[in-house]
Amino acid sequence: MTTPSFDLGPDHLELRSWVHSFAADVIRPAAAEWDEREEFPWPVLEEAAKIGLYSLDFFATQSFDETGLGIPVTMEELFWGDAGIGLAIVGTALAAAGVSANGTPEQVGEWVPQMFGEPGDLRLGAFCSSEPDAGSDVGAMRTRATYDEATDEWVINGTKTWATNGGLADVHVVTAVVDPDLRARGQASFVVPPGTKGLSQGQKFHKHGIRASHTAEVVLDRVRVPGRCLLGGKEKLDARLARAREGTRAGGNASMATFERTRPAVGAQAVGIARAAYEVALDYARTREQFGRPIIENQAIAFALADMKTAIDSARLLVWRAAWMASQGKTFEAAEGSMSKLVAGETAVKVTGQAMQILGGNGFTREYPVERMARDAKIYTIFEGTSEIQRLVIARAISGAQIR
């Protein structure tokens, strides 16, 4: 077991510098263009793949970092560059986490490499959980998976929504109901391999922020996948369902297992956005003059910047704590993962708003990046569990009560 430390070691400092350089030199110059185009930034992803930043090896190495800090450090720097492009680079990691959280070692070895590809032959993964009538309420999921024993295949029907890389991806990880009577406890995750008939992209969403990231519906019409595509295997699923029917603890929900693993990483993304906006506001306040002096000499501006910096550092510490706990296999007794995502997401929204205020009219224009950062920040109080859901998870954890 490693001892937590607030000092990054040489390896993490080198990692941070490397990713920061890519974010500064490649991502930032392209950010405004791809935000305006609202298209997936394939050329930027190709550059990331060329240096090994978009690769299975990179994400696997950081995931196995015994301190847990490799992924948060990477996320913060990428999203300091730009959230939309950052999400395009790391969106596949959510699907990979879905396989890693619920699959067997053999399934991880088979499917995760197919989500990344290599330079010149890039691949994507998509994690498909939310539905038009089942976002925060995972128990309302309607996508069904039925086992065809004669062919050893699962037949999946339904529509997923808000899927990052949905329809664009080569490998889709789909959660579905296998026993409707058990609601959330009767769900499982499946891999839908590349080229599977019946899977198609539905509506592509035109979003308020993170516009370089592809978000769409995924339609599954009599999609047939081999039995080996059930993550975890049928024997494990049958045993879990049997426990659920008997009223005993059945084990984790497939979607929630993935989200719990990724919440500190999502929090780190929000920290990156907040830090970027704070730095723009700080530089602006030092150089912008009103009434014959830099506006940073006014208490109202200086105190706002002090609050912004304090909030960002506080959020980062919560993210690092949760990431370290996860790396050590510690249980989130007080929902520390949800705490990190909640505080970081709320901080990103508040700090980017304050940055716009400090820049005044300039902050409201696209000549300065804080306008885009503010649009990007808002999603962090909504996706992968709204702020309200995070508070619910935390409240249940600390009280032991079934709060609704």
Is residue 388 annotated as a catalytic residue, yes or no? no
What type of residue is 83?
A
Nearest alpha carbon to residue 326 among 95, 89, 105, 65 = 65
Nearest alpha carbon to residue 191 among 257, 125, 105, 147 = 125
DSSP code, position 122: E
What type of residue is 310?
T
**DSSP string of 58-100, one letter each residue:** HHHHHHT-TTS-HHHHHHHHHHHH-HHHHHHHHHHHHHHHHHH
Catalytic residue, chosen from 76, 110, 384, 388, is 384
Contacts of 331 (CB under 8 A, 6+ apart): none
User: Residues 303-339, buried b or exposed e (16+ Cβ, 10 A)?
Assistant: ebbeebbebbeebbebbbbbbbbbbeeeebeebbbbb
SS3 label, residue 217: strand
Contacts of 33 (CB under 8 A, 6+ apart): none
Round to whole Å and give the CA distance between 27 and 387: 28
Nearest alpha carbon to residue 174 among 243, 223, 132 = 223
Paired with 199 in beta bridges are 220
- Beta strand 171-177 pairing with 125-128: parallel
Cβ pair 197, 224 in contact under 8 A = yes
Paired with 230 in beta bridges are 190
- Beta strand 187-192 pairing with 171-177: antiparallel
Round to whole Å and give the CA distance between 345 and 347: 5
Catalytically active residues, by annotation: 384
